[in-house]
Amino acid sequence: MRRLRVVALALAFFTAFPLEVHSQPGAATGALEDPAPIPDGGIPAAAPRVSAAEIRIGRAELEAFVDGLVVARMQDHHVAGVTMAIVHHDAVLLAKGWGSADLASDRPVDAATTLFRPGSISKTFTWTAVMQLVEQGKIDLDADIQTYLPQLTIEDPGFEPITIRHLMAHTPGFEESVLGHLFEDRAEEALPILEYLRTHQPARVRGPGVQPSYSNYGAALAGLIVANLSGMAFEDYADRELFGKLGMRHSTFREPLPDRPIAPMPANLEALVSTGYRWEGGRYSPGGFTYISPLGPAGAMSTTASDMSRWMRVHLNEGELDGVRILSPETARKLHTQHYTMHPELPGLAHGFIESRLHGYRAIGHGGGTVHFMSDMQLIPELGFGLFVSTNTSTGGLLTRHLAREVVARFFPRHHAAHEPKAPAGFEARAGRFAGSYLASRRAHTTAEKPLLAAVSMLMVTPGPDGTLSFRSALGDQEFVEVEALVFHEWDGDGVVRFVEEDGKIVGLQTSLPILAFDKVGPLENPVFQGGLLALSMVVFAGAWIGAWLRRRRSPPPSRVERLASGSALAAGLVWIGFGALVTVALLEVGENYRRVLFEFPLPSFRAALTLAWLGAALSGLSAVLLIPVWAQGAWSIPRRLRHTALVAVAIFTTWLLDQMNWIGHHYF
Q: Which of 318-327, 470-479, 528-537 has the lowest mean pLDDT?
A: 470-479
Sorting pLDDT into bands at 50, 70 and 90, what band is 259?
Answer: confident
Beta-sheet strands, E only, within 516-624: 518-521
Q: What is the pLDDT of residue 667?
A: 62
Pairing of strands 361-369, 476-484: unpaired
pLDDT digits (tens, 9 = 90+) for 104-140: 999 999 999 999 999 999 999 999 999 999 999 999 9
If phi > 0 it is left, if psi is from -120 to 50 it is alpha, else beta; for residue 136 that is alpha
Sorting pLDDT into bands at 50, 70 and 90, what band is 48?
Answer: very low
Q: What is the pLDDT of residue 36?
A: 31
Asked if 446 and 205 count as a contact pair (C-beta separation under 8 A), the reply is yes
Q: Is 304 exposed, middle or buried (0-12, 13-18, 19+ CB in 10 A)?
A: buried
Position 468 pLDDT exceeds 50: yes
Q: Is 463 exposed, middle or buried (0-12, 13-18, 19+ CB in 10 A)?
A: middle
Asked if 369 and 64 count as a contact pair (C-beta separation under 8 A), the reply is no
Q: What is the pLDDT of residue 416?
A: 67
Q: Kindly tell me the sign of the dihedral angle through the C-alpha atoms of 529, 535, 539, 541.
A: positive
Sorting pLDDT into bands at 50, 70 and 90, what band is 563?
Answer: confident
Sorting pLDDT into bands at 50, 70 and 90, what band is 554?
Answer: low
Asked if 85 and 95 count as a contact pair (C-beta separation under 8 A), the reply is yes
Query: Can you tell me whether residue 215 is helix, strand or coil?
Result: coil
Q: What is the pLDDT of residue 476?
A: 77
Question: Cα separations (Å) of 583 from 181, 210, 579, 588, 613?
Answer: 21, 35, 6, 9, 11
Position 261 pLDDT exceeds 70: yes
Sorting pLDDT into bands at 50, 70 and 90, what band is 389?
Answer: very high
Mean pLDDT across the stretch 376-384?
96
Q: What is the pLDDT of residue 557?
A: 57
Q: What is the pLDDT of residue 558?
A: 65
Query: Can you tell me whether residue 410 is helix, strand or coil?
Result: helix
Cβ atoms within 10 Å of 640's Cβ, excluding its own? 16
Mean pLDDT across the stretch 633-657?
93
What is the C-alpha to C-alpha distance for residues 541 and 545, in angstroms, rounded to an integer? Answer: 6
Q: What is the pLDDT of residue 597?
A: 86
Q: Which of 93-107, 413-427, 491-505, 617-631 has the lowest mean pLDDT?
A: 413-427
Q: Strand order of the sheet with strand 340-341?
A: 107-108, 91-102, 81-88, 385-391, 374-380, 361-369, 353-358, 348-350, 340-341
Contacts of 658 (CB under 8 A, 6+ apart): 534, 613, 617, 664
The residue that leads in pLDDT, 474 or 43, is 474
Q: Which of 189-203, 247-261, 279-293, 404-418 has the lowest mean pLDDT?
A: 404-418
What is the C-alpha to C-alpha distance for residues 607 and 617, in angstroms, rounded to an integer? Answer: 16
Query: Can you tell me whether residue 402 is helix, strand or coil?
Result: coil
Asked if 247 and 151 count as a contact pair (C-beta separation under 8 A), the reply is no
Mean pLDDT across the stretch 344-362?
94
What is the C-alpha to C-alpha distance for residues 667 and 370, in angstroms, rounded to an integer? Answer: 25
Q: Is 192 exposed, middle or buried (0-12, 13-18, 19+ CB in 10 A)?
A: middle
Cβ atoms within 10 Å of 420's Cβ, excluding its own? 8
Mean pLDDT across the stretch 409-425?
78
Query: Can you tell me whether residue 212 is helix, strand or coil?
Result: coil
Listed ranges 156-170, 412-426, 539-553; the one with the highest mean pLDDT:
156-170
The torsion angle over the Cα atoms of residues 155, 157, 161 and 164, rounded to 10 degrees, is -50
Q: What is the pLDDT of residue 269?
A: 98
If phi > 0 it is left, if psi is from -120 to 50 it is alpha, else beta; for residue 273 that is beta
Asked if 339 and 40 count as a contact pair (C-beta separation under 8 A), the reply is yes
What's the residue count for the chain?
A: 669
Report pTM.
Answer: 0.90
Q: Give which of 433, 435, 440 is closest to 518, Cα–Cα.
A: 440
Q: Which of 195-209, 506-520, 594-608 has the lowest mean pLDDT?
A: 594-608
Position 23 pLDDT exceeds 70: no
Q: What is the pLDDT of residue 425?
A: 83
Position 18 pLDDT exceeds 90: no
Q: What is the pLDDT of residue 310?
A: 99
Question: Cα separations (Å) of 470 from 376, 424, 467?
Answer: 26, 16, 10
Sorting pLDDT into bands at 50, 70 and 90, what band is 633?
Answer: confident
Beta-sheet strands, E only, within 359-494: 361-369, 374-380, 385-391, 436-440, 458-463, 469-473, 476-484, 487-490
Q: What is the pLDDT of residue 443?
A: 95
Mean pLDDT across the stretch 58-63?
96
Position 33 pLDDT exceeds 60: no
| Residue 133 φ/ψ, nearest 5 degrees | -75, -30
Mean pLDDT across the stretch 438-442?
97
Domain ranges across the chain: 1-30+56-412, 527-661
Q: Which residues face 637 on adjacent strands?
A: none
The superfamily in CATH containing domain 1-30+56-412 is DD-peptidase/beta-lactamase superfamily (3.40.710.10)
Position 46 pLDDT exceeds 50: no
Position 644 pLDDT exceeds 50: yes
What is the C-alpha to C-alpha distance for residues 363 and 380, in angstroms, rounded to an integer? Answer: 5
Mean pLDDT, the chain, rounded, equals 89
Query: Can you tell me whether residue 325 is helix, strand or coil?
Result: strand
Question: What share of the chain has pLDDT > 70, as a percent?
Answer: 90
Q: Give which of 531, 523, 664 is closest to 587, Cα–Cα.
A: 531
Sorting pLDDT into bands at 50, 70 and 90, what band is 595?
Answer: confident
| Residue 401 φ/ψ, nearest 5 degrees | -55, -45
* 525, amino acid identity: E
Q: What is the pLDDT of residue 556?
A: 61
DSSP state string for 58-104: -HHHHHHHHHHHHHHHHHHHT-SEEEEEEEETTEEEEEEEEEEEETT
Provide the H-helix boundaries in 239-344: 244-246, 267-270, 296-299, 305-316, 329-335
What is the C-alpha to C-alpha distance for residues 311 and 328, in angstroms, rounded to an integer? Answer: 15
Q: Which residues face 497 on adjacent strands?
A: 488, 511
What is the C-alpha to C-alpha distance for residues 413 and 465, in angstroms, rounded to an integer? Answer: 30
Mean pLDDT across the stretch 182-192?
94
Sorting pLDDT into bands at 50, 70 and 90, what band is 623?
Answer: very high
Helix or strand holding residue 348 (H, E): strand 348-350
Q: What is the pLDDT of residue 355?
A: 97
Mean pLDDT across the stretch 439-460?
94
Whole-number CA gyration radius for the chain: 27
Q: Give which of 107, 103, 391 is closest to 271, Cα–Cα.
A: 107
Cβ atoms within 10 Å of 479's Cβ, excluding its own? 20
Asked if 204 and 173 count as a contact pair (C-beta separation under 8 A), the reply is yes
Position 25 pLDDT exceeds 50: no
Mean pLDDT across the stretch 180-204?
95
